[in-house]
Structure 1
Amino acid sequence: MKTLTIVIPEGQNNLSSVVGPYKFFLKANAHYKSLGKEPVFRVQVAGVSASTDLYGGLFSINPHTYISDVKQTDLLIIPAQAHEGLEAIVERNREVVNWVREQYKNGAEVASICTGAFLLAATGLLEGRCCSTHWNAAKKFTEMFPGVNLQTDRLITDEQGIYTNGGAYSFLNLMLYLVEKYYDRPTAIVCAKVFQVDIDRSSQSPFTIFNGQKDHSDDVILRAQAYLENHLDEKVNMDELAVSLSVSRRNFDRRFIKATGNTPVEYQQRVRVEMAKKSLETGRKTVNEVMYETGYADVKAFRDLFRRITGLTPQEYRNKYNKDAAVNSLY
């Protein structure tokens, strides 16, 4: 059984983003048990103090354990923080910041809720990566972490085992997203019905989130995106593409990252993986056939990239989402 740890930083003052994840994953476990399956996660709350008061002492959180006693976890969730005094909150929680960084290095995946992204960004793990947080905290976030590609228009970001989401109760969509990833879609649907959350907002595949990257006004980059999407099975020379668009390679990369949050190469990789996902979900082609039609010839490189973006190997993904493939694998 995996371990999920909800972190309670020093000065935690948001209860919903602690209780919400806790209840979501308990419900997902309960649903699995009702089907005769083993629960996926042991859910625990870990803090830096034995008890934390919230809202002037109206509520209190008494963690199961201290973060210093958690040597390894598989998934950890950083809840939202108070909007006021975020710099001070980060400074007060150096122990949490260091612990999160070490857990990620040891293989844990990390999710931040709303302004919990400030503590996540303080670890340095978001440098050069995409991130979302509450729109009202965007200006402060950019000031504190200029090296992070903040995209507050995105509901969920998912990059190399690091997840963030927008503000307020949109964290419920992130919980559904994680439940679908770690359990399965039927379990996410059950949670969506029980907690009455619109699953259409949370069941976005990485491509759906990625597709939102066209919501910008840079016509040159829109043309580049269209070209990359129409030449998936080709090895595109980015220098030549930049020249064809009448921009220098350096300016091309800079504008591409600013508009989409990804480099041109990363963008092409994500489009290719999405195409591969669709083929694996519905077709009868082998993994190697799908690999070749999406422009890859190196099995290991394709497998590693696919797993980094989806969390599964191509074969695991095919068995999970292609009913015919799953049935055939039993014989």
Structure 2
Amino acid sequence: MSTNYPIEIGLLLYPEAQLSAVLGMTDLLELANRFAVPQAESTGKAIRVSHWRQETSEALPSRVFDTMPEKDGSPSVLVVPPSLGEPATPEIAAPYSDWLRRHHAAGGTLASVCAGAFVLAETGLLDGRVATTHWLYEEQFQSRFPKVHLDVDRLIIDDGDLITAGGAMAWTDLGLKLLDRFLGPNIMVKTARILLVDPPGREQRFYSVFSPKLLHGDAAILKVQHWLQETEAKDIALGKLASISGLQERTFQRRFHKATGMTTSEYCQRLRVGRAREFLQFSRLSVESVAWEVGYQDPASFRKVFARIVGLPPGEYRQRFAAG
């Protein structure tokens, strides 16, 4: 698809699509045109925004809104926005799958935000690819689309022809990413400054809360998970955990990993780091004291584990997210 003036970005109005994201992204892209249009004669580039809706069950989606209705052409990018409620069911997503696949086959880019990834994944195009969605939907998404390599730590994954963004407000990140691609970094940064938003580079794990898998059906492992939650993972000795489960150590390790997707060490680290985040946000304890409170005797080890899981060192996390 051509990237000559104008570059069209289409937004899909499927049932329960979050209109605030659709309109917000439209405004973001239109704002960028204040910088781009005066240069369009020389650069040949500006942004055209269109909205697409399926008017009847038999019809294909059609353009129902257009910022440049006098222009011909088709979208270079089609974006599936977040859902206002729960992620779209297969029945809701199915009518759009062939249309999205044809757009992709013709050379177009597909993108999704938050639960919009469920509509995009129904096309099968994400199979074998790395994608993200809101961290709250991790287990549900993996259950429905096991062939997709899901990475909910990342806020946005730009895989060239397929782009997925995490949380519901990640439409700002996606919009800026598209501006960077089509209009260049200068216009992207100018737009971000006007809107007082960070340029792309955030990660979803800065904001996500560890949500352990509890619906796996293994009562012995669930018993251990509840005990770890109650005791804040202060005692994580393998023998102790196996004893609580009533299983032999090797059997316990195997079943724990199968049920939770993690080793006991990784699981307990995430519980401890979750507690540490609360201390860093809502207390004045030093980082060393926080480390001690959550079960680390070596502050250096705590800092290393915290940065690996959260993506920021404890001090920087506190500066960014401390309450008051």
With normalisation by structure 2, the TM-score equals 0.53
1:63 aligned onto 2:67:
no
Question: Residue 64 of structure 1 aligns to a residue in which SS?
Answer: strand
CA distance, structure 1, for counterparts of residue 178 and residue 49 of structure 2: 14
**Residues 44, 153 of structure 1: alpha-carbon distance in 2 compared, 3 angstrom cutoff:** same
* Cα displacement (A) at 1:159: 1.2
1:49 correspondence with 2:55:
yes
- Counterpart check, 1:6 vs 2:6: no
CA drift of 1:83 comes to: 4.2
Residue equivalent to 2:115? 115
With over 3 angstroms needed to count, the CA separation of the structure-2 counterparts of 1:98 and 1:194, relative to structure 1, is same
Across the two proteins, how many residue pairs are aligned to each other? 188
Distance 1:145 1:71 in 2: 33
Give how far 1:87 is off. 5.2
The one-letter code of the counterpart of 1:40 is A
Shift in Å at residue 194 of structure 1? 1.4
Matches within 5 A, 1:197-208: 197-199=197-199, 201=201
Q: How far apart in 2 are the matches of 1:31 and 1:25?
A: 10
**Aligned equivalents of 2:40, 2:170: Cα separation in 1:** 31
**2:132·2:164 contact (CA, 8 Å) conserved in 1?**
yes
| CA radius of gyration, larger in | 2
1:88-237 matches, within 5 Å, as 88=89, 90-199=90-199, 201=201
Correspondence for 2:76 = 74
How many Å apart are 1:40 and its aligned residue?
A: 2.5
Give the drift of 1:36. 5.2
Question: How far apart, in 2, do the equivalents of 1:18 and 1:145 lie?
Answer: 25
**Structure 1 pair 93/71, CA: closer, same or farther in 2 (3 Å)?**
farther
Question: Where does residue 27 of structure 2 map in the other structure?
Answer: 23
Secondary structure of 2:36's counterpart equals helix
Pairwise CA distance, 1:30: 2.1
* Matches for 1:242-261 after TM superposition, within 5 Å: none
Structure 1 residue 92: Cα displacement: 2.1
CA deviations over 1:199-242 (Å, ceiling 9, x no partner): 1536x9xxxx9xxxxxxxxxxxxxxxxxxxxxxxxxxxxxxxxx
Distance 2:74 2:200 in 1: 33
SS of the counterpart of 1:199? coil
Superposed CA RMSD: 2.7
Q: Provide the C-alpha distance between the structure 2 equivalents of 1:23 and 1:131, rounded to a whole number of angstroms.
A: 26
What is the Cα deviation at residue 25 of structure 1? 1.4
| Higher helix fraction (1 or 2) | 1
Distance 1:193 1:107, change over 3 A: same
2: CA distance between counterparts of 1:112 and 1:200? 16
Counterpart contact for 2:176–2:199, Cα < 8 Å: yes
Q: Which deviates the most, 94-103 or 123-132?
A: 94-103
Deviation at 1:48, TM superposition (A): 0.9
Gaps in structure 2 of 5+ consecutive residues: 57-62, 67-71, 205-260, 263-324
TM-score (norm 1): 0.52
Distance 1:188-1:152 versus aligned 2 partners, 3 A rule: same
CA distance in 2 between counterparts of 1:33 and 1:64 reads: 20
Contact 1:72 1:106 (8 Å CA) reproduced: no
Distance 1:98 1:36 in 2: 34
1:93 match: secondary structure: helix
Q: Structure 1 residue 185: deviation in Å?
A: 0.6
Q: Distance in 1 between matches of 2:119 and 2:73?
A: 19
User: Residues 53 and 64 of structure 2 are in contact (CA less than 8 Å); yes or no, is this contact kept in structure 1?
Assistant: yes
Say if 1:4 and 1:44, in contact at 8 Å, map to a contact too: yes
In the TM superposition, residue 19 of structure 1 has moved relative to its aligned partner by 1.1
Contact 1:120–1:126 (CA<8 Å) still a contact in 2? yes
Q: Distance in 2 between matches of 1:43 and 1:147?
A: 32
State the one-letter code of the partner of 2:150. Answer: L
